[in-house]
Amino acid sequence: MYRLEDTIAAVSSAAVAPGTVGESILRVSGPRAFEAVGSLSTGGPAPGPVRGITHKRLCVEPGLEVNVTLYCFTCPVSYTGDDLIEIHVFAAPCVVERLLGRLLEQSRLAGPGEFTLRAYLNGKMDLTAAEAVGHIVTGSNRMQIAAAQRLLSGGLAEQADALGNEVLDLLSLIEGGMDFAGEDVRFIERDEAVARMKGLSGWLERFLADSLHCEELMDLPSVGLAGLPNAGKSSLVNALLGCERSITSDEPGTTRDVVGGVLRLAGAACTVFDCAGLTADECADVPARSARAAALAALANADVVVFCVEAAKSDVGPDAAVYGGLMCRDVVLAATKVDMLGVEERPGCMGRLQERFGKAFVATSSRTGEGLDELRAAIGRRVCGDCAETTQQDGRLALGVRHRGAIEAAAANVRLAAVEAAAGRDETAAMYLRGAYNELKQFDAQGLDEAILERIFARFCVGK
């Protein structure tokens, strides 16, 4: 499937919104990259296989030419290890699509992650670094990107290489002892070999325990809005997202399902959702009871809950009762509809809310937009603030399912090798050590079969 002799092309930047004009980047890589781009060049010589930046006009179709900037990289000094040209063009999406079509007359469309796959196959990066590129491209928060950058810098491959060398050293000593079993030669004492194996398996287990789960970082943190019916949750969700995601009404109980969207913050993205209004008492009718159960389940799994209380309410006892029964990790308190308060009323109302709930409230108005930036900042601090700093400083690696599986298998093999060596079964111990070595070497192995490579790179975007 993956033919290095092919020339591939794709759009490698985010799509420009329909009806607008923006900058797009197209990539072409392979032995005919310069030829494919050069065939579209007008008003001067086509770009030759020379590194550098140049400005050209490309013919999209008869009568339509566009100005582009070409970033040219020659084999092997490029991202992919092949000749590579990046075309930067400021145009409408239809023009970019047509330009890609012209390039595909002399190339083929790249598959998901195929540019990075070529970098791996051409020895430009190891497999864990290639996977890290995918995590960085799809990163939704600082935690994920920081951990992926450590993978990209070779942290896991270096660790695995050092451990593999230790296993290989033990294996050579044990097999050397077996080869000279009839001689008065000892390559390593049995107790020392067992101790080294136990130490190695313990180190692998600690490494797993201290690492982060890549899948946990990939998932967008979730933020749920909770409160009594008609507390202003749906309007606040719509105001935060800048679009109508929740139905708003003066009638209590309008929202029955969990609905929401993606909120872009300064340091991360998160999902924000609205759900049915909560009451301290069990609902009488079945639909309301089901909506309440769904709301409580969603809020229990949320990373952050924004608890909404109408600022102008005189009796917040029912709100306090619901708030006290919430089972959630972190709560931001939001006073809603503050535009309904007079300027002289506001300090007293906010003070009473803080006294009743024991925490300060963020004063918000979905109608005027007041307090929305402050609320976004409060959510952002909880979503990616302290945890992101800790993650960046402690240097831990984020391991995916493949990484963790290989290290777990290596640890199990070394542990079994220690048992066999202690019992004097050196041949079986050597077999387990070989298994551990093979597991550790797959982090930078160049010989993984195509099915594994397809599975790894299928998660990438086209153009990356």
pLDDT of residue 246: 44
Res. 212 pLDDT band, cuts 50 70 90: low
Per mean pLDDT, which of 6-20, 32-46, 162-176, 369-383 is the most reliable?
A: 369-383
Question: Is the predicted pLDDT of residue 369 greater than 70, yes or no?
Answer: yes
Per mean pLDDT, which of 294-298, 301-305, 344-348 is the most reliable?
A: 344-348
3-state SS class at 327:
coil
Contacts of 124 (CB under 8 A, 6+ apart): 76, 79, 80, 81
Mean pLDDT score, 106-126: 80
Asked whether the beta carbons of 26 and 87 are under 8 A apart, the reply is yes
pLDDT of residue 215: 47
Mean pLDDT score, 217-235: 79
| pLDDT over 70 percentage in the chain | 70
Res. 249 pLDDT band, cuts 50 70 90: very low
More confident residue, 184 or 44: 44
Residue ranges, CATH 3.40.50.300, the chain: 218-394
Question: Is the predicted pLDDT of residue 65 greater than 70, yes or no?
Answer: yes
Mean pLDDT score, 367-379: 90
Res. 254 pLDDT band, cuts 50 70 90: very low
The answer to which of 265-269, 381-385, 408-412 has the lowest mean pLDDT is 265-269
Per mean pLDDT, which of 178-182, 324-328, 449-453 is the most reliable?
A: 324-328
pLDDT of residue 52: 85
pLDDT of residue 248: 45
Question: Is the predicted pLDDT of residue 85 greater than 90, yes or no?
Answer: yes
Res. 461 pLDDT band, cuts 50 70 90: low
Residue ranges, CATH 1.20.120.430, the chain: 154-211+398-445
| Closest C-alpha to 379, from 309, 319, 302, 311 | 302
Question: Is the predicted pLDDT of residue 359 greater than 60, yes or no?
Answer: yes
pLDDT of residue 147: 54
Mean pLDDT score, 265-276: 76
More confident residue, 178 or 350: 350
| pLDDT over 90 percentage in the chain | 14
Mean pLDDT score, 69-85: 90
Res. 447 pLDDT band, cuts 50 70 90: very low
Question: Is the predicted pLDDT of residue 393 greater than 50, yes or no?
Answer: no
Mean pLDDT score, 87-93: 91
- What number does CATH give the domain 8-110? 3.30.1360.120
Torsion of CA 289, 290, 296, 302, to 10 degrees: -160
pLDDT of residue 185: 47
Question: Is the predicted pLDDT of residue 352 greater than 80, yes or no?
Answer: yes
pLDDT of residue 159: 74
pLDDT of residue 72: 92
pLDDT of residue 26: 92
* Strands, sheet with 108-109, edge to edge from the N-terminal-most edge strand: 41-42, 52-61, 64-73, 84-91, 22-29, 8-11, 108-109
pLDDT of residue 372: 92
Element containing residue 455 per DSSP (H, E): helix 450-457
Question: Is the predicted pLDDT of residue 158 greater than 60, yes or no?
Answer: yes
Mean pLDDT score, 194-206: 86
Residue ranges, CATH 3.30.1360.120, the chain: 8-110
Element containing residue 24 per DSSP (H, E): strand 22-29
Mean pLDDT score, 1-24: 82
| Closest C-alpha to 433, from 409, 401, 403 | 409
Question: Is the predicted pLDDT of residue 361 greater than 90, yes or no?
Answer: yes
pLDDT of residue 229: 87
Mean pLDDT score, 221-242: 86
pLDDT of residue 182: 53
Res. 253 pLDDT band, cuts 50 70 90: very low
- Distance in angstroms (rounded) separating the CA atoms of residues 464 and 456: 13
Mean of the per-residue pLDDT values of the chain: 77
Q: Does domain 154-211+398-445 have CATH number 3.30.70.1350?
A: no
Its CATH class, for the domain covering 218-394, is alpha beta
- Distance in angstroms (rounded) separating the CA atoms of residues 299 and 276: 11
The answer to which of 253-262, 285-294, 355-364 has the lowest mean pLDDT is 253-262
Asked whether the beta carbons of 56 and 44 are under 8 A apart, the reply is yes
Mean pLDDT score, 358-364: 90
CA-atom Rg of the chain in angstroms: 30
Distance between start and end Cα atoms, the chain: 17
Question: Is the predicted pLDDT of residue 151 greater than 60, yes or no?
Answer: no
Token couple for 43: 């008003």
